[in-house]
Structures are given as C-alpha cells and as structure tokens.
C-alpha cells in the first residue's frame, strides 16, 4: 500500500524555489541599511574543498560561501531547498565574556533578571552605550535559483537584533512558511508574507533569557519540532527568568535547561535543568531526546545527555567560578559530569557517556540517507577552533533499561570543515555550516553539501522531497496512515501532524492499538497526545 501511495504522489511537482528578482549571483541587502563587512568571493572557499575528508562514496560540494554568508552559527532548510542561516556579528565585541572582565564577575553573578544585567553593565560602564549596539545579529536566506547546486541569491531575512541585552544568535528553524529564531533575551517567530525575502512579521514569543553574561556562546539555541507537536529549544547557563503570558514565572537564573512550548509560544515549560551549555537537540526514532553538553575546561568532559521530564544534570553557574582546592568544586568532587557511578548525588540524571570536546550542531539520519555503519546515526559537530581537528562525529545509541548507551561511534567528517551546525535537506544531502577558521569572526562563511549520489539521485529520495514539499498536506487520511510507517522519520512525523490536525480519534486509536508496524503505533500515539492537548497539527 505504501508503494501505491508513493506512485500516486510521484506526478506531483517538486516545490522549487523561484528567484525573487531577475539575474544571478545577487546579494540583497537589508531594508534597515545595516551592512556589516563580509569578504568578497576570492576563491578561498573553492580552495578548501580538497582538504575535506568524508567516507568513501560520499561527495562534497560547496553550496554557499562569502559574500552570501559569514560567521555562521546555525542553519536550517526548507523542503524547497531554501537555506536559512544565522550570522553573528556581535560575538567578539558586543556581548561580554566574563573571562575577560574578572572584576565584574560578582556583579554578573548577582543578577537575577535580564533587567538586572542591563542595569549593572550600564552602571559599571557609564557613558555612550552605542558601543554595545554597533553590530547586529541576522538571519540570511540563501537560494540556488538556477538549481546548479550553488547559492546564487541571498537576502537579509531579518536583522537589527542589536539591543544592549541581545546575545549571540544561535538557533533557527523553518516550518510551514515561518522561521523560529533564538537570540537572547528573546525567542522569535519571523515570517515573510509578501515573498520579498525579508521578514516583515517579527513576534517575540517569550523573553527573559540571558540573566548573566557568563561565557560568550552560552546562549539560546537547539530549536527542534518534537514528536509531541511542541517547539523544543535549549538555554545555556546564562540562565533565564521568564514571565509567561499566563503569568507564570519560570525562574532558573544560574543553570542551563531544555524547554518546550507550543509553536505559538504558549504553554512554555522547563523540561530538564542543570545543564551548562546544551546546544542542538535531537530526537531518536522512539521520541527520546538527546543533547551534547559542553565541558567547563576544569578537567571535566563534554557529555551526551538523555533529556527527561524533570531531569537535573547537576550543573550550576557557580561551579564555574568556585574558589576551592578542587576546580569546579562539587562538580568535579562528586563526579557529576561522568556516567553513572558510585558516589554521585542521587538527585542528578547522569550522562549517557562523555563524548567529543566542543559539541555544537546535532542532527540524525532520518532513515535511508546514510548507509553501512553510519545508517541511522546521530551526527554531532565537534568544534575545536581549528579545521584540522574539528570533526563531525557519528554515533548511535541503544536502550539499556530506562537509559541508553552508545553502540557505535566513528568520525563522519574527519577534517576540513570548522563545523558549527549540520542538517539534512529534503534532497537527502547533509548541509554543514563552516566557521572557516579560529574562534573570532572571519567575515567569511561556507555551507557544504555532503551526500551519497546514489541516495540523492534515487527516485525514493525525490519522492520524499515531494512529500515534505506539500504532498503530505494534500494526501488523504488513509494515505497519511500509511505514511506513519515510512522509512524517513521526517515524513512519518509530518504525516502524524496532519492526522492530528484532522482529529480522527477513532482512526488514531485503532492504529495505536492494532497497527502491525511499531512506527505506526508510536506516531498514532503521539498524534493522540496532540489531539488531547487540542494542538493537533504541530
């Protein structure tokens, strides 16, 4: 039945990005007039290609480079191939890092709200505060209008994120024509209704993230749509004190966390706390959630964390500055950063295992896009500040009781890309954002496309692109039920959302209880969860 469904959808046209204006190789500026310095195309990006090492059989192509993008922190792709990238221009000078201002650490730790932080820096650095507003974070839209595999058109989707309270932008997610974007102190929803490549709708869904300056980069990131139809994201240990629209106070000023809310921002809640700098989030095929949390440079190691409802991983910002005989105090003394072992506090959720050194972007093969040992793997960008040692590490987990263990681990990209984020496109390729070099802004940025030509050229992959590009929304109810068993997790989840929106509880209940396929039963159950909340459709 699934094969007949796929055949019925094959005639549907792919949703192809159309150029907004004539011509080629266009870099469209911002209506605000903000124009940071970005290097021109001088051939350096193409020269970097030979140094990139990927598994045998995989192709590497340059998808985008300066002047279309620079200082890339995160990326996401729409099914039509549009690529949204987050660029930072505030990281090096506009957002303080307390390692550079030791005399101000106690003032920073004393802050309990974002307003407190703004007040103390205003008091201690009196004078013209325009110095903190010279540069802006921004979201750029990248397009390959002639479909030759290389971006030739880009626009500033949104900018002027340059308030004194603003941090380093670090998260972006496209869905159904809207873009969710994280930049402390705000979680944003952006939309371009008139199709000109600029977001004229800008809505703050929640605010109050970034109580402290702490360490630069410990920001708001990790945007991901969950199997429950909620929006999930992570906050570093700059902390949060957020007043919700229904007048609840989420108060966690001294630790990082994973949060979730409805796509419109309602129902915001803390889910897992005690984290230091969790960046990307990723669900496995069972709906279990993972992040890889950064170490504190105090003898501890980064760690793969299973995110659970009400879980606490033990980190507190105070450990970073603790002045005891042991670096990081109880964090090290009680081995909180290690996998489960005797002597740890009973109230923490120990990590699955220590993994990589500088975790940033995290994604997962949704099914059928990677082959051999890499099939079904998570991919984590291990950012080290040097392309020679930065890898994109592949790993798989398996369940052990109520927890997990790593069953496989191997570098996927072994060198050549200073990777900050990675995501799979609807075309079956992996897109990796490249910081290019070092830790400070380079005024350069690249996006690389890594793929197995046998996969990206296959009819089944083109069908997936058709489904994700609108075919699912057009499918009938019985066809959607069949798609809950599709090999691609993205297709299964979108079919689930569509069924939840249609609200046929009887069908969903029957599938959840009696479907022969385990994936169908899981996604039908997730859909019932959405319907029960009155939030069908994600």
| Predicted confidence (pLDDT) per residue in 53-62, tens digit | 999 999 999 9
For residue 11, is pLDDT > 50?
A: no
Q: What's the pLDDT at 23?
A: 40
Give the tens place of pLDDT for each residue, 103-153.
999 999 999 999 999 999 999 876 666 677 889 999 999 999 999 999 999
CA dist 455 and 259 (Å) reads 35
pLDDT band at 305 (very low <50, low <70, confident <90, very high): very high
Dihedral of CA 522/523/528/532: which sign? positive
CA dist 227 and 205 (Å) reads 21
Query: Which helix or strand (DSSP H or E) is residue 59 part of?
Result: strand 59-64
Burial class of residue 19 (count of CB atoms within 10 Å of its CB; 0-12, 13-18, 19+): middle
For residue 86, is pLDDT > 80?
A: yes
Lowest-pLDDT range of 90-104, 179-193, 305-319, 342-356: 90-104
Lowest-pLDDT range of 21-25, 257-261, 265-269, 495-499: 21-25
pLDDT band at 326 (very low <50, low <70, confident <90, very high): confident
**Cβ-contact 54, 60 below 8 angstroms:** yes
For residue 9, is pLDDT > 70?
A: no
pLDDT band at 536 (very low <50, low <70, confident <90, very high): low
Please give the average per-residue pLDDT across 147-164, as a whole number. 96
Please give the average per-residue pLDDT across 480-509, as a whole number. 97
**Cβ-contact 221, 241 below 8 angstroms:** no
Q: Does the bond joining 67 to the residue before it have cis omega, within 30 degrees of 0?
A: yes
- What is the phi-psi region of residue 373: left when phi exceeds 0, alpha when psi lies from -120 to 50, beta otherwise? alpha
Find the angle CA(25)-CA(29)-CA(33) to the nearest 5 degrees. Answer: 160
Q: What's the pLDDT at 15?
A: 33
More confident residue, 9 or 290: 290
Please give the average per-residue pLDDT across 89-96, as a whole number. 89
Give the other-Cβ count within 10 Å of 353's Cβ: 17
**Cβ-contact 437, 71 below 8 angstroms:** no
Count each helix (H run) and each strand (E run) in the chain, helices first.
13, 28
pLDDT band at 427 (very low <50, low <70, confident <90, very high): very high
Please give the average per-residue pLDDT across 176-183, as a whole number. 97
Give the tens place of pLDDT for each residue, 244-269.
989 999 999 999 999 999 999 999 99
Mean pLDDT of the chain: 93
Q: How many CA atoms lie within 13 A of 131 on its CB side?
A: 10
pLDDT band at 13 (very low <50, low <70, confident <90, very high): very low
CA dist 44 and 70 (Å) reads 13
Find the angle CA(93)-CA(293)-CA(339) to the nearest 5 degrees. Answer: 150
**Cβ-contact 523, 227 below 8 angstroms:** yes
Please give the average per-residue pLDDT across 2-20, as a whole number. 36
For residue 309, is pLDDT > 80?
A: yes
Contacts of 215 (CB under 8 A, 6+ apart): 97, 98, 99, 236, 237, 238, 277, 320
Find the angle CA(370)-CA(373)-CA(375) to the nearest 5 degrees. Answer: 30
Q: What's the pLDDT at 324?
A: 82
Please give the average per-residue pLDDT across 204-229, as a whole number. 97
In the three-class reduction of DSSP (H, G, I as helix; E, B as strand; rest coil), residue 488 is classed as: coil
CA dist 374 and 365 (Å) reads 8
Q: What's the pLDDT at 325?
A: 82
Query: Among 158, 148, 215, 152, which residue's Cα sits nearest to residue 182?
Result: 158
Kindly calculate the radius of gyration of the chain based on its CA atoms and give it in whole angstroms: 22
Name the DSSP letter for residue 269.
E
- Looking at the chain, the whole-number percentage of residues with pLDDT higher than 90 is 90
pLDDT band at 395 (very low <50, low <70, confident <90, very high): very high
Rounded to two decimals, the pTM is 0.94
Question: Which CA distances in Å does 271 have to 168, 219, 252, 289?
Answer: 23, 17, 12, 11
Q: What's the pLDDT at 529?
A: 94
For residue 17, is pLDDT > 90?
A: no
Contacts of 345 (CB under 8 A, 6+ apart): 314, 334, 336
Contacts of 23 (CB under 8 A, 6+ apart): none
């Amino acid at each position: 039945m699934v094969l007949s469904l796929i055949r019925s959808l094959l005639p549907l046209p792919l949703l192809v990005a159309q150029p907004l204006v004539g011509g080629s190789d266009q870099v469209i500026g911002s209506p605000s007039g903000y124009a940071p310095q970005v290097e021109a195309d001088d051939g350096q990006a193409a020269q970097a290609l030979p140094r990139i090492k990927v598994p045998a059989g995989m192709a590497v192509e340059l998808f985008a480079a300066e002047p279309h993008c620079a200082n890339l922190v995160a990326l996401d792709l729409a099914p039509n191939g549009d690529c949204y990238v987050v660029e930072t221009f505030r990281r090096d000078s506009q957002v303080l890092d307390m390692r550079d201002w030791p005399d101000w650490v106690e003032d920073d730790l004393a802050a309990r709200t974002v307003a407190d932080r703004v007040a103390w820096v205003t008091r201690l650095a009196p004078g013209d505060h325009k110095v903190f507003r010279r540069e802006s974070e921004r979201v750029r839209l990248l397009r390959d209008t002639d479909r030759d595999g290389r971006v030739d058109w880009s626009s500033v989707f949104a900018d002027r994120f340059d308030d004194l309270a603003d941090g380093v932008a670090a998260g972006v997610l496209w869905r159904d024509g809207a873009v969710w974007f994280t930049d402390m102190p705000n979680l944003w929803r952006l939309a371009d209704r008139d199709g000109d490549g600029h977001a004229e709708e800008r809505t703050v869904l929640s605010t109050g993230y970034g109580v402290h300056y702490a360490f630069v980069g410990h920001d708001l990131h990790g945007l991901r749509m969950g199997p429950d139809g909620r929006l999930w994201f992570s906050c570093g240990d700059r902390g949060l004190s957020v007043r919700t629209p229904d007048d609840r106070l989420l108060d966690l000023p001294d630790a990082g966390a994973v949060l979730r809310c409805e796509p419109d921002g309602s129902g915001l809640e803390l889910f897992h706390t005690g984290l230091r700098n969790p960046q990307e989030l990723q669900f496995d095929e069972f709906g279990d959630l993972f992040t890889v949390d950064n170490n504190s440079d105090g003898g501890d190691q980064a760690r793969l964390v299973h995110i659970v409802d009400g879980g606490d991983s033990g980190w507190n910002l105070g450990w970073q500055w603790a002045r005891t005989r042991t670096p990081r105090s109880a964090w090290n003394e009680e081995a909180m950063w290690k996998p489960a072992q005797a002597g740890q506090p009973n109230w923490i959720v120990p990590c699955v295992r220590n993994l990589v050194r500088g975790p940033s972007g995290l994604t997962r093969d949704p099914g059928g896009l990677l082959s051999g040992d890499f099939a079904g793997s998570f991919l984590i960008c291990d950012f080290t500040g040097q392309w020679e040692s930065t890898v994109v590490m592949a790993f798989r987990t398996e369940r052990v009781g109520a927890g997990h263990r790593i069953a496989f681990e191997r570098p996927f990209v072994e060198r050549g890309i200073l990777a900050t984020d990675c995501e799979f496109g609807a075309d079956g390729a992996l897109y990796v954002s490249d910081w290019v070099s070092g830790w400070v802004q380079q005024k350069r940025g690249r996006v690389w496309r890594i793929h197995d030509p046998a996969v990206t050229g296959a009819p089944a992959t083109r069908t997936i692109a058709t489904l994700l590009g609108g075919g699912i929304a057009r499918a009938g109810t019985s066809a959607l039920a069949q798609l809950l068993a599709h090999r691609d997790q993205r297709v299964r989840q979108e079919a689930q959302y569509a069924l939840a929106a249609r609200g046929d509880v009887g069908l969903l209940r029957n599938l959840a209880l009696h479907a022969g396929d385990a994936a169908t039963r899981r996604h039908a159950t997730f859909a019932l969860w959405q319907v029960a909340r009155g939030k069908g459709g994600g």
